[in-house]
Structure 1
Amino acid sequence: MEMQKKKNSNPAYSTQKYINVAEIKENTLILKDGSLRAVIAVSSTNFALKSEDEQNALVAAYQGLLNSLDFPIQILIHSRVLDIEGYLGKLKGLAAGQTNELLRIQMTEYIEYVGRLVEFANIMSKNFYVVVPFSANPVRQTFGSRIKKLLNPVAQIAMNQEDFHRAKTKLDERVNHVMSELGGVGLRSLVLTTEELIELLYESYNLDSAAPLHAESLEGMEISQ
């Protein structure tokens, strides 16, 4: 039992050991093999509500996006439980102050309906991301270059920084291209910051402890009286 306890407390057995991310900086994921990743958050659109002509235009634009790429991308869909308690609380406050009896009854019935719906089904919020990669071609190291690293480690650190920024410049070019093509499909997009990348990874690998997403967008809706 004591050996098992020591084994579990060893930092080497943490989840981080199995994550293929070495570092996160300057809005970029650095993987253990030295390759880079940028994550773009993308808005969504309701394809089913579009007219046939609009659907055909979206399909053609999406096809053009894929045909314009000479590198792979990953499309990530992240689902989280949506906490609508704040939204319901706001509705209850509006209903209590409603002077029109008919509107007050309708709002109360709507609040009760949504409350019952939440009891029987988890309301999920889906976020969409596009992961853009870049991997620089490895440079073959000679015996002399290895000796130089040992004799001058400070210069090696500076060189690594130069290599990183050189690779990130190439990655940014890919990101800008993808975002431009997404705009042609009618989708808004933005690059996740370092803090947002950390939050995304934490929530992806700690589903039980991740806090539910609050319905801030719902709370900000204007409700006509």
Structure 2
Amino acid sequence: MVNAKPATQQIVEIKEIKDDIVYLKGGGLRAVIMVSGVNFDLKSEEEQNILLYGYQSFLNSLDYSFQIVVHSRKLNIDGYLEMLRQRELQEQNELLKAQVAEYVEFVSSFVQMNAIMSKTFYAVVPYDVIQVGSKTIAGLGSLMEGGSRAPVATTKEEDETVKITQLEQRVEQVLGGIRRMGLRAVRLNAQELIELYYNLYNPEEKERTLAIAKDMTT
């Protein structure tokens, strides 16, 4: 008997997505920021140095790690080609109609012969609670506190609020650091997060374009 493949939900570590936050099964939280790209090679040496020093300063200002993700995917131009075909059908001038048809054929053939990749850049901001024995530690700073105080009882809702507050503070810090380098940075909302993870875990299907991506390229 052939073993059934596990469902995607069993493989991924995501518990749920709500309020612009990714909740992991292990209790961690994640926020995702889309960042505009920059052609570093086209910058002057002075501009390159400014970017490098700005990035170094940004990293040195953080007391936690965050993840940089480059999502590369073959460019999907089906929507663009369909728009051109509709334009061809509506065109009254026969010469222009023929030119549009030739252009559609050229673009379609070119993309088939050449793998044109699109790249999207993301910064993933984490917040994880560290478990040490029976104690829950919110960060390394807690290790410096004295151990003589009695533990304070907190509810699950209070713990969740603290975690969210800490994550939001980190998000603002990362957003500010990226923007100070002259890059555009926008946090993904819940719907955009769902579409992003759908694309990542279903690479064989037609990609769902994030609405926010259009704003980042204009």
Q: TM-score, normalised by structure 1?
A: 0.70
Distance 1:98-1:182 versus aligned 2 partners, 3 A rule: farther
Over residues 175-198 of structure 1, what are the superposed CA-to-partner deviations in whole Å (9 max), with x where a residue is unaligned? 100000100111111111222222
Distance 1:44-1:32 versus aligned 2 partners, 3 A rule: same
Letter in 2 for 1:193: N
Contact 2:196–2:210 at 8 Å: present in 1 too?
A: no
- Looking at structure 1, the residues matched to 171 and 75 of structure 2 have their Cα atoms a distance apart, in angstroms, of 29
> Do structure 1's residue 17 and structure 2's residue 13 form an aligned pair?
no
- Looking at structure 1, the residues matched to 163 and 209 of structure 2 have their Cα atoms a distance apart, in angstroms, of 37
Letter in 2 for 1:191: R
- Looking at structure 2, the residues matched to 92 and 20 of structure 1 have their Cα atoms a distance apart, in angstroms, of 42
Write 1 or 2 for the structure with the bigger share of helix. Answer: 1
Residues 63-102 of structure 1 mapped to structure 2, 5 A cutoff: 63-90=56-83
Unmatched runs of 5 consecutive residues or more in structure 1: 143-155
- Select the residue among 37, 45, 57 that pairs with 2:38: 45
- Looking at structure 2, the residues matched to 112 and 22 of structure 1 have their Cα atoms a distance apart, in angstroms, of 45
Letter in 2 for 1:25: K
Distance 1:48-1:104 versus aligned 2 partners, 3 A rule: farther
1:190 alignment partner in structure 2? 186
Residues 128-143 of structure 1 mapped to structure 2, 5 A cutoff: 128-138=121-131
SS of the residue aligned with 1:8? coil
Q: TM-score, normalised by structure 2?
A: 0.72
Distance 1:215-1:168 versus aligned 2 partners, 3 A rule: closer
Over residues 83-115 of structure 1, what are the superposed CA-to-partner deviations in whole Å (9 max), with x where a residue is unaligned? 22333455567789698x8x9999777655433
SS of the residue aligned with 1:83? coil
Distance 1:18-1:212 versus aligned 2 partners, 3 A rule: closer
> Do structure 1's residue 170 and structure 2's residue 166 form an aligned pair?
yes
- Looking at structure 1, the residues matched to 38 and 100 of structure 2 have their Cα atoms a distance apart, in angstroms, of 28
Unmatched runs of 5 consecutive residues or more in structure 2: 136-152
> Do structure 1's residue 211 and structure 2's residue 206 form an aligned pair?
yes
- Looking at structure 2, the residues matched to 112 and 14 of structure 1 have their Cα atoms a distance apart, in angstroms, of 40
- Select the residue among 49, 54, 57 that pairs with 2:47: 54
- Select the residue among 112, 128, 131 that pairs with 1:119: 112
User: 1:202: Cα distance to partner?
Assistant: 2.1
SS of the residue aligned with 2:33? strand
> Do structure 1's residue 8 and structure 2's residue 4 form an aligned pair?
yes
User: 1:137: Cα distance to partner?
Assistant: 4.2
- Looking at structure 1, the residues matched to 201 and 115 of structure 2 have their Cα atoms a distance apart, in angstroms, of 20
2:144 alignment partner in structure 1? none
1:152 alignment partner in structure 2? none
- Looking at structure 2, the residues matched to 167 and 34 of structure 1 have their Cα atoms a distance apart, in angstroms, of 10
Over residues 182-223 of structure 1, what are the superposed CA-to-partner deviations in whole Å (9 max), with x where a residue is unaligned? 001111111112222222222212212x313569989xx9xx
% identical aligned pairs: 42
